[in-house]
Structure 1
């Protein structure tokens, strides 16, 4: 089991809440790239079984996020179990309670709002959560994952995994082999797209300078002088080349 908080958290409540309860979502491949048809249109996939609301009210949470006066309006994340964990209903409830106690420590239930939705269409249990980033009685900003939060979340994860014998994401035996992805073709356009250097990583700017010409490298360009002349040492960036016989 692992605990992950998402980086997103701005905007209206429609996006995070509707994603949790939607029956159809965009289809992604193993690299998290959108799957498209021959015409380039993104494909959708159905969630089966459908998402289940375990705690909270989607409409209420959406409205509170919309009413949040702060730049960051919500926090969302997931507690994801391994396919071999098989947590019971009681265990899932205990995990949600433990997370709430950590996230809202020192606050009463009427001071916060939390939406919990279970996803199981991927063949494993995922407990998704979403909360307005606001303390309800005062309207002040409430961040359940302040700087340094990862340490306490990791401690909760490790405690629960050890207590129930669930899969430990930190176990070296569970590390995946490196997946080789196809490299994108790149070309070396050369300085300012010079055709003689395009696609020729074995050549450099000096290959363009005729034999016998002197040169001195500037900050962002290469300056040259004809044979028998040299560049002035007093030349400043941005000035024209000053040639000395």
Structure 2
């Protein structure tokens, strides 16, 4: 069995939908014959809700939206698993425990598709890169656990994946691609269009060597010729051959196909490592990897007290209320350049002031109101500092003051609206409590933003209001240190507040 990770991650687009389309398509591109061919048998959805996966990938708000990979099995392994469906079910549960170590069972979201059109089993999967409990960025197989970038930075993932592969292959009696009889005696690129037939030939030769039927490189060549293969060339480190009826030759390289010394080394390794590592040791090594992965995920995606309180409050509200809130936030995000930054800082404020979730009943409204006022002033100060630092205003002092006044109003109203939506405590003063006050406040916010756009001379610059939003967002993050704990997460990772609800284009706290 081979576990491989795709280089595709849905960066900056909605390619998750296209990836799933390809997984489930009736046809596929056969690289060997260079044409599109019908999948026979057809692809089969093993598990997962396609619509939900596409939605989560598209709306998670991160640059890399999903992780995609495959569990690939040889023909012999495929026949074995097909005849033992309970073992395949158990294997997939082991894979899930590996991929989602540290994630609660009801928060494990993935889509798995089965392919058998190449006469062997392949299980393709997609995992959205968001933890639906915490709302934070989640990559089950990060290439740089220790923070390093570039070539060689995926060493930790390789260690983890090797431990997983060793465990699965030993537990279910599958061919381990890392075993010396495979890894040291043949070299096949993962992208080699002829890898399937090369592996098949190689495994048969290995069995013959293990049974004592082949004892030299010369006997490999004789065996291949006796089986109908045409040997087109045999160099010091390879053997080239054509299968019966084939137009194109293939090259086998590595251990047993190289010179005599390499052949002998591979043969002895095969004899010595038939069962060199007992299952208990492999299981202990793998358990150590699982514990490490579990600790890392739980630490990163821990739920703070305020978030847990809000989750309880959220569960008391109807699905319609949740959806209405989602649509409202989606509309604000698309119209207010400062929305994401103010939203992130408001989440931090709530997490550091958990009493705000119980203002209606515990008599803490006065001190919390004071903290809200300080928080609002800090946000306004950061944005207004950004405005005043801009030297390109040409419309006079009155125009600048009007711009500042509207910006301050917008920030104050946005914070009050977000606090109301995120805590289910009404912080909107002067708005009707008939149920439409949130929509009315949102309309007023968009109207204020339009006035700011008209008043701000910088709109005529190359990047317009979007550039202003970026600049002011930077000012907010760099100039504010309002008693908020910084646990190392970035703006792009959004919020620490989870729910179990899936939604459309909304902050991850509503997912």
1:75 paired with 2:67, answer: yes
Counterpart selection for 1:125 from 121, 135, 138: 121
Higher helix proportion (structure 1 or 2)? 2
CA distance in 1, matches of 2:96, 2:105: 10
CA distance in 2, matches of 1:16, 1:26: 14
Counterpart selection for 1:163 from 143, 166, 171: 171
What is the 5 A alignment of 1:40-119?
A: 43-85=35-77, 86-87=80-81, 88-119=84-115
C-alpha deviation, 1:139, in angstroms: 2.5
C-alpha deviation, 1:15, in angstroms: 2.2
Which 5+ residue runs of structure 1 have no aligned equivalent?
A: 36-42, 183-245
Counterpart selection for 1:141 from 137, 146, 150: 137
Q: Deviations over 1:191-243 (max 9, x none)?
A: xxxxxxxxxxxxxxxxxxxxxxxxxxxxxxxxxxxxxxxxxxxxxxxxxxxxx
Q: Deviations over 1:15-65 (max 9, x none)?
A: 221121111122212xxxx81xxxxxxx21111111111111122211211
CA distance in 2, matches of 1:92, 1:108: 22
CA distance in 1, matches of 2:49, 2:6: 20
User: SS where residue 3 of structure 2 aligns?
Assistant: strand
Question: In 2 relative to 1, CA 102–119 (structure 1 residues): closer, same or farther, beyond 3 Å?
Answer: same
Number of the residue aligned with 1:16: 19
Question: Please, which moves more after superposition, 97-106 or 173-182?
Answer: 173-182
C-alpha deviation, 1:97, in angstroms: 0.8
Q: What is the TM-score with the length of structure 2 in the denominator? A: 0.32
CA distance in 1, matches of 2:19, 2:92: 19
Number of the residue aligned with 1:208: none
Number of the residue aligned with 1:222: none
Give the total of aligned pairs: 171
C-alpha deviation, 1:123, in angstroms: 0.8
Higher strand proportion (structure 1 or 2)? 1
Which 5+ residue runs of structure 2 have no aligned equivalent?
A: 145-155, 188-237, 241-247, 250-511
Q: What is the TM-score with the length of structure 1 in the denominator? A: 0.64
